[in-house]
Structure formats: C-alpha cells, structure tokens
Chains A and B, each alone.
Chain A
Amino acid sequence: MAWTREQMAAVAAQELNDGFYVNLGIGIPTLVANYVPSGMHIVLHGENGLIGTGPFPLEHEVDADIVNASKQTVTELPLTSYVDSATSFGLVRGGHIDLAILGAMQVSETGDIANWTVPGKTLKGMGGAMDLVAGVKRVVVLMEHTAGDKSKLVKQCTLPLTGRGVVSKVITDLGEFEFLPEGLTLVALAPDVSLNEIRAKTEASFRVDLHGAGHESR
C-alpha cells in the first residue's frame, strides 16, 4: 500500500536532526511539523523573515504583523527572531539553513527540480523557491509519485526549472530515493509496493539499494 500524505510527512521527519533550522514548503511538507520527534529541538525558518515559527494563533492571538511565508497568521515562540528579507535570504543563500522540505511537480534523475510554474497556466512567479533550492544545505522533495499516469520522477524536466542538480532526496507515496554519487538510488519502498510497480511508474533511471548505506547517508 502506498504511503498516505501523513505517512510521507512522517518519513520526511526522519530527515530532521536535533538543532536543525528547517524550511518547510507549502502542501505536504507543512505536515512534517506534526512529526517532529518529541524532545528534538527544531527551528522553522520562514523566508519572509520569521525564524522560529510557532503554531497558528488562537482567535484572540491573531496579529497582522506575524505571518509565515504562505502569508498565514502564525505565532512567535520564546526563541523567535525577526530579520529583514535580505538577511533572511542571505541566510538561505549562505547555506545556513540545514534542510528544506519542498513540494515539486517534477524532479529529474540528475536532481533538477521544477516546482514553480506550468507553461500555459497562470504565471504567478517563483517567490523564494529558486533561492531555497539553490541555497539550503539539503533539499528534500515530498511529492506524489505520479500526476495522472505520468511519472513526476523524470529523465529530464519538461517544466521550467527552479534549480539544477540541487535535490538530495525525493520521498513519494511509493518510495524513497536518494541522490548518491553513484546516481539516483531507490533506498526504501512503501509497504506492499513492489520493485516492478515502482519501476513501471518511474521514468527516471535509478539504482536500487534497499538495505545499503544510502538510506542512512546525509
């Protein structure tokens, strides 16, 4: 059985390490916040300049000056700091953010990512996506394995790129892939998903190393 969105988020939460500063994208990545192991110190970075994002506010706590990068009202924590946009993205570009967990429309077998626009659809802009994939130390993509019957893990992205060769890991509903020096490697399968099924549904070429060191590499 394929992983649910919640299960994908739980798998992605295994990427977290104590003390990490983490940027979570919109969609399934947001759910990862619910799976931070108890006792682990994780600080969420919002690229709009809020470092240390708290939960959504209670009705009476809503403050128009406290929003996250999705423009949702949030709260601050005792450890929170605020910086301006240039500093916030300087922290991203400078490699000071440990991990970004993002959604994507396509990831290529060489680690290219497309997650900002589809030609012919309304053009909205890249926001901070290009800065994040280029700058954050480790980029993990959480996405459905296929869109309709088309593989999202492709040989070459056909959609406009957000970044080239920047993805470290992809977690889909069917399995977990790591970009290793040897190439794209399948390191875990969702329960009851066969190797044949995932091969049939994946356009990208990949190696298989389900019990190897790849799974634990960072």
Chain B
Amino acid sequence: MIALAQREGVFWMGKIYEGAEAALKGVLRDGLTIAVGGFGLCGIPEHGLEAVRQSGVKNLTIVSITGGTDDAGVGVLLQGHQVKKLIASYVGENNVLMDQFTKKELEIEFCPQGTLAERLRAGGFGIPAFYTKTGVGTIVAEGKETRTFDGRDYLMERGIFCDLALVKAWKADEEGNLVYRKAARNLNPVAAVAARLTVAEVEHLVPNGQLDPDLVHTPGLVVQRVFKGLNFKKPIERRTTRTA
C-alpha cells in the first residue's frame, strides 16, 4: 500500500506493519508492563489489545486510566486472566475485573488520574519522580515521601516507563507521526512516550508529506511500529442524546 523507504541501498523495512499481529510479532512475552491509551473506551487501541489477548501472554502489568468493561478495552485481557497488576484510576463497570480483584487474582494500584498521566509523562521524559499536592492527606499518600514547598505539603510520585505502549491515533504517516482525533487523544500521547517500544494503530495511514507538520501531536520519533486498523468498533460506553 505504501512504498517502503530506501536508504543508500539498504532496504529499510520502515515502521508500517500489516496489522496488529504483525506489529506485535516478537514483542509479546509474559510479564511485560504495557501502557494502554484511552479513556474508558474512547480512543482505545482495540486491535492491539485483541492481538495481546490472542497471544495468550500472562502476568502482565497494565497501566491504563480504567480497567475497561467486561468485553472491551483492557477488559479483553482480564477475560483471559492475563493481567497480574493494573495501575489505574477507575475500575467501575467491569464485573470480570471485580471478580478477579475480590479473589485477589488481580492486584490494583489505584492512582489519581492526573497523577497517572503525569507519571507516564515524567517516565517518558526522563523524570524519575515528581512532587504533587494531589492525594496529600489521603490513602494515596501512604508510604510516600512528603515534602513542604512554600508552606504547602506535596507527596512524591514516581515516573513510569513501560516495556510497550499500545496507542490509538486517527492518522499516521509513514514516519509514524501521529494525529489524534478529538477527545480520543486522552492518555495516548503520554503512553506513546513512556515505553521502549510504541505501537500505534490508526484509522488512516497517509504518505509522508500529507500531515501538516505543525499539527502533529506525537512525533514519529517515539513511534516504532504503525498499522492501519480495519473495522474499528469504537464502542461507546454511555450513549447519551438529546431530542432536538
């Protein structure tokens, strides 16, 4: 579909893969820590998650805003008991998850949503820890170092860097430059920088030169593999409408 780049006679395979399975080939193994983009079911890397499910790898640590639903988002990995630990801010609306959590099969590290996003951003940008006022005086602060700056208390949170990031964007070019669409951007850009290997699935794959460089959200620099997802389901968690 897209011409592969040629570099001084060396045939460069490029970043474009045929699909999720191809893009994740040789990457998946037990015990990986994976950052997953999306907020609820909005902007989730649904093909990447499905490929991880089908691979059957286990003992995963997943970093994600939510635990998805029973049959979508991170939930597809919980169905197969593939997740050992979930670092998330919200896990409602998922009975499979609750069942595993109650039986202590699944460990959950609750993290305030903004702190979670910042931990990925920091981890991806070389900041091992930072101080925040979020969670001071709550159970989130338990066991964490606190410091007073300018008369106010802050607690220390650690950056997170993952083995793999699965992100979903609207468009990519051959270089892996990404453009997200509307509120589906959410955690995807910070997940993309916070991993050794970032795999992006997109609705539209375009030749280099077709994206406005000024409007790229995530530079291809941090994206190693890209594929065009077919038939995105884009599930809606709470379809709410008004009548005229």
Task: List the interface of chain A (C-beta within 8 A of B).
Answer: 46-50, 55-59, 61-68, 70-74, 76, 82-86, 88-90, 92-93, 112, 122-131, 134-135, 160-165
Contacts and interface: CB of A to CB of B under 8 A. Distances in A.
Contacts, number: 180
Interface centre among A56, A131, A164 (most CB of B within 10 A): A131
B33 interface: no
Instruction: Give the 10 A-B residue pairs with the shortest CB-CB distance, closest first.
Output: A89-B114, A164-B137, A131-B114, A85-B117, A124-B92, A64-B234, A125-B90, A72-B240, A128-B113, A130-B112
Interface centre among B113, B121, B185 (most CB of A within 10 A): B113
A162 to B, nearest CB: 7
Nearest to A122: B98
B75 to A, nearest CB: 14
B242 A127 contact: no
26 contacts: A46-B183, A57-B241, A64-B184, A65-B43, A66-B182, A67-B237, A68-B183, A72-B238, A73-B236, A73-B240, A82-B185, A83-B185, A85-B114, A85-B116, A85-B190, A89-B113, A124-B90, A124-B91, A128-B113, A131-B113, A131-B115, A134-B134, A134-B135, A160-B139, A162-B138, A164-B137
Nearest to B39: A48
Interface residues of B, number: 58
A56 B240 contact: yes
Contacts of A76: 182
Contact of A86 (B39, B121, B184): B121
A14 to B, nearest CB: 26
B138 A130 contact: yes
B118 A67 contact: no
Interface string B80-104: 0000000011111000001001000
Given A58-B244, A84-B185, A127-B113, A90 B137 contact: no
Interface centre among B43, B114, B183, B188 (most CB of A within 10 A): B183
Given A71-B40, A89-B117, A89-B118, A134 B89 contact: no
A97 B40 CA distance: 23
A62 B241 CA distance: 7
A126 B89 CA distance: 6
Nearest to B238: A72
A164 to B, nearest CB: 3
Interface centre among A46, A55, A61, A161 (most CB of B within 10 A): A161
Interface centre among A49, A61, A72, A123 (most CB of B within 10 A): A49
Given A61-B241, A127-B113, 4 more contacts: A49-B39, A58-B243, A85-B114, A93-B132
A125 B139 CA distance: 12
B39 A128 contact: no
A93 B117 CA distance: 12
A86 B137 contact: no
Contact of B183 (A82, A112, A134): A82
B238 A70 contact: yes
Contacts of A55: 242
